[in-house]
Amino acid sequence: MGHRQLKYEPHQLECQSPQHQGPRNVWTTYYPRKGERFYCDDCRAAYRKQRAEAQEEIVSQDQPETEDDGPFPNAEESLAGEVVKLIEDRGFGFLRTDDGREFFFHLADLMPGVNFEEIEVDERFTFQVKKDPSENKAGAAQSVTRLVES
């Protein structure tokens, strides 16, 4: 029985990060899924560094203590919140839920059709919890999309 071998041929893709430096077309062996945004290795590394710095920044800020409810029962829970802070030059921001929990998001966490450059403070979004908040550290959001009020 023959096995089908996956080939990861180098090809060029356009990096979609607004923070990309240099020519946007880069060589890669990565094949994004349909609708998935592509970010080059350099931009992904810069994102990880920025995310780590942002998390350290949150820990170092004086934030009001919130009641510790322990781990949330469902890491995939869907929440709504409003944008409370944007760090536009670094491509990330923070969402606060109605109960006061804060969640970090990066432009890579936005759903297709949501442009980071168009987001405004106080705008409401829905998102999935990637990581729960802890002590003085914001949680992490993913699949961030505009809230459609009915």
Distance CA 75, CA 59 (A): 21
What residues have CB less than 8 Å from 37, skipping those under 6 apart? 16, 108, 112
Mean pLDDT of the chain: 82
Q: Which pLDDT band, with edges at 50, 70 and 90, does 62 fall under?
A: very low
Question: For 3-13, what is each residue's pLDDT tens digit?
Answer: 655 667 888 99
Residue 141 has which token pair? 């959001």
Instruction: Identify the band that residue 64 occupies on the pLDDT scale cut at 50, 70 and 90.
Output: very low
What is the percent of the chain with per-residue pLDDT over 70, rounded to a whole number? 79
pLDDT tens for residues 100-120? 999 999 999 999 889 999 999
Q: Bigger pLDDT: 49 or 145?
A: 145
Domains and CATH numbers, the chain: 11-53 (no CATH), 65-146 (2.40.50.140)
Q: Kindly report the pTM of this predicted structure.
A: 0.53
- Helical residues (DSSP H) of the chain, grouped into ranges: 41-60
